[in-house]
Structures are given as C-alpha cells and as structure tokens.
Amino acid sequence: MQFYGTDISSRLLLGTAQYPSPAILAEAVKSSGSGIITVSLRRESADGSGAGFWDGLRETGCRILPNTAGCHSVQEAVTTAHMARDLFGTPWIKLEVIGHSDTLQPDVFGLVEAARILSDEGFQVFPYTTEDLVVGERLLQAGCEVLMPWGAPIGSGQGLRNPDALRAMRAHFPQVPLIVDAGIGRPSDAAQAMELGMDAVLLNTAVAKAGDPARMAAAMAQAIEAGRAGYEADPMERRDMAVPSTPVLGLAEFA
C-alpha cells in the first residue's frame, strides 16, 4: 500500500492528542505498530513548551502527518498547512475544514477549495471528508490522491454510522486509498471498516482515552489486520434464509 508514492508498513494511523502523558503516548505508538502519527500544529506553543512533545514524536521514528484540526475557514486551513510544512518539513497535510461546531462535520465546499489551493502549492493532501461520492470526485479533481471519509463524528466512538455508504465509496473508487477517519471506538469498529475494503484506519480518542492506551492500541492493530485478512479472503454473501451446512443426501429414512 502506498500514499502519494510512499510505502506504508501499517494500516493503522494513530493520533497523538489527549494522552495522559508523553510516556503513555510513546508506549501506545509502539504497541500500535503504526508508522504514521498525526499531530496538530496547535500542540506546538509559541513559548517553546511544545519542544518536549515534538522531541518525543521524533523519537517514535514514525512519519508525521500534520493536520489542520480546529480550522473553520479556507484561509485558516491553508495558513495552518503552510506553518505545519515549515515546522515539520513534510508536504503531507491532513486537511480539516470544519463546518459544524457540534458534530465537527467537514465543510465540504471549503474543503474542496482548500484542497485545490494546497495541491497547486505542492502539498500532498489527506482530506477529512464525508462519504459523499460527489464530494470525493471533486476532491480527486482538486488534486487529492487519498480520501478520508468519517465513520462518525470525531471523538464520539460511535463506530461506522453508515457502512453502506462506505461500501459504495469503495466500489466507486476502487483504486483510491480510503482511510476511515473519526468515530472508531472499539476494535470491532476498526475490523468492520477493514472488512468493507478500506485501506487504513486513523483513530485517536479510542486509544488515548482507554483505561490502558497501550493495550488498546495493540488491540486496534490486531483488529485491523484481522479485518483486512477477512476482506482479502472474499467472505460469503449474506443470505435472507438459512442454508443447511450438512448435506441431505445420506440421511437415514424411516419407513
């Protein structure tokens, strides 16, 4: 699997916010086996107190995927992306343009506009979007090579609220890397996403807020591997009626 021509070793992308301590974050990253971690520019404070956090991220050896979390306009998202590229030294950017304060649903109109601007300026954009196929088409036309549909509102832990739409998205974009982003709460949610044919899962709160973040990170990694294996094994179709697994031929007959 590749994102923008870069080989990816793990299908689990892990966020870095809300952990009880930097040490617990580092332990969770290690347990997850993730090769990509996301970080918000807002974690790097102007007074330099974020230096220790940044040093800890570098020590994980993971590739950094900066994000524009908390941005509510195109201008804010584009400016934040430029600052992140200067700070983290990567053209990768997880693009968020939030349109609704309660659900944190993406503003898909602003998202497409910002994606086009950033792609033209040399960024490799990972857009946090909905499952809408038309929006997905517009993002690809804007220069994106990856789509990140949400599973449920950020931090809600609701799992996949619309699996049928995600399944349709997989069928409509067979060659486009799809990463379920937001809403994953349990390992079973992550496994379900992978069984639908998603290429990867990005999650944060489910691990950071678990009683044992490192153990939950390991469980998520195992679930993602199992889900992907199940998808590749071509599972049986659901049936409306029962079908006996034992052959009728050879059963005893009583006169």
Q: Rounded to whole angstroms, how far apart are CA atoms 44 and 86?
A: 12
Q: Is residue 250 part of a domain?
A: no
The total of structural domains in the chain comes to: 1
Question: Is residue 5 part of an annotated ligand binding site?
Answer: no
Mean pLDDT taken over the chain: 90
Q: How many CB atoms lie within 10 A of CB 12?
A: 24
**How confident is the model over 191-213, as a mean pLDDT?**
95
Q: Is residue 243 part of a domain?
A: no
Is 94 marked active-site?
Answer: yes
Question: Is residue 142 part of an annotated ligand binding site?
Answer: no
67 φ, ψ (degrees, to nearest 5): -130, 165
Q: What residue numbers bound the domain in which 75 lies?
A: 2-233
Q: Is residue 207 part of a domain?
A: yes
Q: Is residue 188 part of a domain?
A: yes
Say which of 85, 94, 138, 228 is annotated catalytic: 94
Query: Which pLDDT band holds residue 169 (cuts at 50, 70, 90)?
Result: very high
Amino acid in the structure at residue 29: V
Q: Is residue 179 part of a domain?
A: yes
Q: Determine the 3-state secondary structure of 211 from DSSP.
A: coil
Q: Rounded to whole angstroms, how far apart are CA atoms 245 and 243?
A: 6
pTM for this structure?
A: 0.88
Q: Rounded to whole angstroms, how far apart are CA atoms 41 and 84?
A: 6
Q: Rounded to whole angstroms, how far apart are CA atoms 172 and 196?
A: 13
Q: What is the pLDDT of residue 252?
A: 64
Longest dimension (CA), the chain: 91
Q: Rounded to whole angstroms, how far apart are CA atoms 253 and 92?
A: 69
Residue 135's CATH number = 3.20.20.70
Q: How many CB atoms lie within 10 A of CB 167?
A: 16
Question: Is residue 129 part of an annotated ligand binding site?
Answer: no
- Find the helix or strand (DSSP H, E) in which 27 lies: helix 22-32
Q: Is residue 52 part of a domain?
A: yes
- Beta bridge partners, 94, equal 67, 126
CA distances from 59 to 29, 52, 64, 86, 116 (A): 11, 11, 11, 19, 33
Q: Is residue 186 part of a domain?
A: yes
Q: Are 235 and 191 in contact (CB under 8 A)?
A: no
Q: What is the pLDDT of residue 122?
A: 96
Q: Which of 58-67, 125-134, 156-165, 203-212 has the lowest mean pLDDT?
A: 58-67
Q: Are 90 and 51 in contact (CB under 8 A)?
A: no
CA distances from 209 to 15, 33, 201, 202 (A): 12, 18, 17, 15
Q: Is residue 252 part of a domain?
A: no
Q: What is the pLDDT of residue 249?
A: 67
Question: Is residue 56 part of an annotated ligand binding site?
Answer: no
The encoded tokens of residue 16 equal 């870095």
- For the segment 44-97, what is each residue's pLDDT rounded down to a tens digit? 544 444 556 777 777 788 899 999 998 999 999 999 999 999 988 899 999 999
